[in-house]
Amino acid sequence: MRTPALTSRLGAEALGTFWLVFGGCGSAIFSAKYLAPNVVTGQGIQLGIGFVGVALAFGLTVLTMAYAVGHVSGAHFNPAVTIGVAVAKRFPWKDVPLYVVAQVLGGLLAGLALWGIARGVSGFDATGNLAANGYGDHSPGGYTLVAVLCAEAILTAFFLYVILGATDDRAPTGFAPIAIGLALTLIHLISIPISNTSVNPARSTAVAFFNGNGAPAQLWAFWVAPIIGAVIAGATYHLVTGVDRRDEDITGVVDPEDLKPTVA
């Protein structure tokens, strides 16, 4: 099996994380609440996509990019996922730091792009309006730090369980991106009111500094909790399921020879 060069894998991770942040956070910034003018009544018509639409947008970003570049890098797009699969012994630790750097940089570029576009409308104030994650007063539902930490850790753990299971060679071939994308959609449906949903330190970092309003000071929670959840899942998946695929790479690299039909 031929493994793509590390530079190609890092580029794929940056590209995928950019798309995740731009598509997911962008849907929250621009489309979650949108009022179109009603020329008859003079009142606005709600055309926004709401929580459901934002949740679906995040899931679709992962699904589409997993198909686009999963065969190059494994489609992590998330430092917690990279660390979790390394703990599961299905990804080399030596590549973890560079993967994380690529993901954070890709996310920050997306955050910069969102900030620049959002400023293109008169009256827009970026402070507090760039889909940042938060707890306490900065939680959409006012949830406490402890509640947010628990939710983020649990949801990230289950996200990684899905990833590890969907990429098992006994799972239906070619459907892993769908399962993973739907899992992320479900996670957002659960937790947008709790923390605005992170489960991804790169996603949180991407918009925190452009958002301001306390988000940078709370960013630590959205690194700590997802990583703890991912570590727990990575360390226990083989114990819980009895499926031990440790020491098997999860980069997602596919040898073109494996795609050729066999002749009986």
pLDDT in tens, the chain (264 residues): 567 899 999 999 999 999 999 999 999 999 988 766 665 565 666 778 999 999 999 999 999 999 999 999 999 999 999 999 999 999 999 999 999 999 999 999 999 999 999 999 988 899 999 999 999 999 999 999 999 999 999 999 999 999 999 988 778 889 999 999 999 999 999 999 999 999 999 999 999 999 999 999 999 999 999 999 999 999 999 898 877 766 655 554 433 343 333 343
Domain membership flag for residue 54: yes
Domain membership flag for residue 256: no
Domain membership flag for residue 95: yes
Q: Which of 139, 132, 110, 121 is nearest to 35 (CA)?
A: 121
Domain membership flag for residue 1: no
Domain membership flag for residue 47: yes
Domain membership flag for residue 100: yes
How far is the C-alpha of 254 from the C-alpha of 256, rounded, in Å?
6
The domain of 197 spans 6-250
Residue 52's H or E segment, with its range, is: helix 50-73
* Number of domains making up the chain: 1
Tokens of 52: 């459901």
Tokens of 243: 């499926």
Domain membership flag for residue 55: yes
Domain membership flag for residue 84: yes
3-state helix, strand, coil split of the chain in percent (to 5) is 65, 0, 35
Give residue 63's pLDDT. Answer: 97
Give residue 258's pLDDT. Answer: 37
Classify residue 213 by its DSSP letter.
T
Give residue 136's pLDDT. Answer: 97
Give residue 173's pLDDT. Answer: 84
Give residue 182's pLDDT. Answer: 98
pTM of model > 0.85: yes
CATH number at residue 53: 1.20.1080.10
